[in-house]
Amino acid sequence: MSDAPASARKTELLEAAYGYAREHGLADLSLRPLAAAIGSSPRVLLFLFGSKDELIRALLARARADELELLDAARGTGLAAVTRRIWEFLAAPEHRALLTLWVEAYARSLTDPQGPWRDFAGDTVRDWLGLLAAAQPPAERSTAAGQARRSLALAALRGALLDLLATGDTDRTTAAVERVTAQLR
């Protein structure tokens, strides 16, 4: 990130840019249209964030903060219960823009591992597996079977999320997650 100190204006522009990115995505992000849409200029954005890549990193960090907030809110007891609570969040229509941005950043992290997206996918996998592990009893958590159960939960959540975003079929994807949570009980 740039050495420019955090300021109210930087925070304000980051939030506005985050809203823009949730609506338009990050793949073809161009500073001129972004700046015009959020009431700034490319020059100000470069001054505050250092570069376009650093702005993208800041936007990804902002998206990850939302993701971590979700994960924190889903904390509970039992792997099945936590998996179900996470799905309720993922399936909520008001989160589609955030989740579409998340999928885009996740994919770019895999295809452009040296770019501003680097580590995003791996970090989110670790975040989610950590939450799911915390929902397991300590004796199960450290076993290969415990790791496999939380990996199954994560794979089901991610697969159902991709299908939901592609098709909008909440009933079918929720039924699939319910089937997995029944197996996790």
Residues sharing a CB contact under 8 Å with residue 67, sequence separation 6 or more, in sequence order = 102, 124, 127
Percentage with pLDDT > 70 across the chain: 94
Mean local confidence (pLDDT), 11-16: 94
Do the Cβ atoms of 73 and 175 come closer than 8 Å?
no
Looking at residues 56-60, what average pLDDT do you find? Answer: 89
pLDDT > 90: percent of the chain: 60
**3-state secondary structure labels for all residues of 90-129:** HHCHHHHHHHHHHHHHHHHHHHCCCCCCCCHHHHHHHHHH
Residue 96, C-beta contacts closer than 8 angstroms, at least 6 positions apart: 165
Give per-residue pLDDT as tens, 18-34. Answer: 999 888 887 778 999 99
**Contact, 101 vs 22, CB < 8 A?**
yes
Average per-residue pLDDT for the chain: 89
Q: Is the pLDDT of residue 126 over 90?
A: yes
Burial tier of 25 (Cβ tally within 10 Å: 0-12, 13-18, 19+): middle
